[in-house]
């Protein structure tokens, strides 16, 4: 948890279910967790460049989707750490689930014929994302998100 001496900033008091160890609004009145916010540039700028290169090279759309998902995670995390609002927390956490599903798809489709789509796997991952999203929106329990994200990460490893 963040230190008790946090300042009130532009976005008001936090409404998120999680708060990290950085003192709120210590560097900027407009950014709740300054360093957690700006460190997300690594998840925004390089993936945008990767997406552009993927498009230029004419690679499969799944690779473009992977880069764009990383960008979405970076933007969502930027918004969350900047505001510490629950809605922005969802913009941070749900794209992580969706991105990992895209990464699982990319990984399990490595040894296939070029430009084919594995519809059963795609359907399974979309359904999983949908179910996790609905349950998480109703539970509002960060541990549920963490367990499901870890499960997807283990599939990637």
The string of DSSP letters for 71-106 reads: HHHHHHHHHHHHH--HHHHHHHHHHHHHHHHHHHHH
Does 138 count as an annotated binding residue?
Answer: no
Nearest to 103 by CA among 63, 133, 136, 44: 63
What is the spatial distance between Cα 89 and Cα 77, in angstroms, rounded to a whole number?
7
Distance CA 19, CA 105 (A): 31
Cβ atoms of residues 116 and 61 within 8 Å: no
- Is 81 annotated in some ligand binding site? yes
Is 22 marked as binding a ligand? yes
What SS3 state is found at 17? coil
Binding residues for Zn(2+): 81
Binding residues: 20, 22, 24, 33, 81
Binding residues for Ca(2+): 20, 22, 24, 33
């Amino acid at each position: 948890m963040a230190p008790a001496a946090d300042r009130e900033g532009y976005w008001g008091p936090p409404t998120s279910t999680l708060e990290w160890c950085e003192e709120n609004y210590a560097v900027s009145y407009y950014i709740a967790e300054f360093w957690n916010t700006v460190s997300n540039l690594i998840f925004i700028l390089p993936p945008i460049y990767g997406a552009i290169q993927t498009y230029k090279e004419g690679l499969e759309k799944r690779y473009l989707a992977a880069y764009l998902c990383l960008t979405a995670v970076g933007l969502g995390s930027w918004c969350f750490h900047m505001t510490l609002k629950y809605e922005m927390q969802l913009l941070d956490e749900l794209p992580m689930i969706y991105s990992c599903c895209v990464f699982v798809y990319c990984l399990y489709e490595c040894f296939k014929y070029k430009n084919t789509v594995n519809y059963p796997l795609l359907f399974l991952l979309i359904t999983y994302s949908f179910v996790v999203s609905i349950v998480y929106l109703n539970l509002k329990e960060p541990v549920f998100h963490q367990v499901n994200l870890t499960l997807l990460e283990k599939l990637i490893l």
